[in-house]
Amino acid sequence: MDRDVALLCNPSAGGGRAARILPRAERALRDLGVRFHTDVTRDLDHARELARRAAQTGEVTVTLSGDGLVGCVVGILRSFPGAVLGILPGGRGNDTARGLGIPLEIRAACAVVAGGVERDLDIGDVEGRSFIGIASLGFDSDANRIANAAPSRLGRLVYVYGALRALTAWRPARFELRLDGEPLTSTGYSVAACNSPSYGGGMRLAPDAQLDDGLLDVVLIAAHPKRSFLATLPKVFAGAHVDHPAVRILRARELHVDADRPFAVYADGDPIGSTPATIRVVPRAVRVLVPA
């Protein structure tokens, strides 16, 4: 690593996990000969300012956090050609790191910062707000809201907990969609625009999605009995749910979505928009360090 690193740590990520492993990450980076300074973020606006400052000075921005901070930072780095992002997994889900083959063990992940290769990746955009993983709404809106308020001790199971709690009160929604201008109606559980394969701590919602193909995998989950939904839920971790007749996957560069009632659009674990919303892919918008 020839460039200096700005290490941005979200201390609340993973229920405080990022703050706990920060000393180990700093020690590993020093042992690997990486020149860096650490900034602890106060909130997402503060993180954006720190990432902008790092990009302006030519530093590599490295996040020690969950997927939310990654999605926030790519929204800044997309405006700086040549800016580079490194990812250290410090959250509960860490789906971006997992999808890129970045080790979840912190010392091994630091080795990717020190000696990884740069890869140009697509990002997603919701009305000007950036994300790197999956943007979804409908049933997912309720499940994410519940998961974000759940006790941190649940770890990765927090997303399953959110889904189970949301299911009890769920009633089907009607979604009006346009995929690259083509109209489509779907009634059921959720709509997801997937730039990467997984969310929710390893749930492979769109197992064939790729981070550099210039397309979003649009996953529609139509209405079917709650018992069937519950039985299929564990299959999502292996991507086997795609064989269910209620699951449909399409591909598009741009998705416009509205619904018969308001929904927040969640991406990378955080609310970043609301219906009606236009979600699009921005090809090769950010450069990320991945294992050699």
What residues of the chain score a pLDDT lower than 70? 1, 152-156
Task: List, for residues 19-73, the tens digit of each pLDDT value.
Answer: 999 999 999 999 999 999 999 999 999 999 999 999 999 999 999 998 989 999 9
Short-list 121, 123, 7, CA closest to 75: 123
Question: What does the alpha-carbon distance between residue 110 and residue 117 come to, in Å, rounded to a whole number?
Answer: 13
136, 191 in Cβ contact below 8 A? Answer: yes
- Rounded to the nearest 5°, which phi and psi values hold at 126? -120, 100
Single-letter code of the amino acid located at 166: A
Strands 182-194 and 117-126: what pairing? unpaired
Question: What does the alpha-carbon distance between residue 91 and residue 18 come to, in Å, rounded to a whole number?
Answer: 7
Q: What DSSP letter does each residue of 167-211 carry, written as one string? A: HHH---EEEEEEETTEEEEEEEEEEEEESSS-BTTTB-SSTT--T
- pLDDT score for 32: 97
Domain with CATH 3.40.50.10330 in the chain: 5-115
pTM of the model: 0.91
| Alpha-helical regions (H) of 4-138 | 13-31, 44-56, 67-77, 95-99, 106-115
Strands 60-65 and 84-89: what pairing? parallel
Q: Which CATH superfamily is domain 5-115 in?
A: Probable inorganic polyphosphate/atp-NAD kinase; domain 1 (3.40.50.10330)
Domain with CATH 2.60.200.40 in the chain: 131-283
- pLDDT score for 156: 64
DSSP 8-state secondary structure symbol assigned to residue 109: H
Strands 117-126 and 84-89: what pairing? unpaired
- pLDDT score for 154: 66
Fold of 131-283: Tumour Suppressor Smad4 (2.60.200)
Question: What does the alpha-carbon distance between residue 49 and residue 85 come to, in Å, rounded to a whole number?
Answer: 15
- pLDDT score for 148: 80
- pLDDT score for 150: 74
- pLDDT score for 155: 64
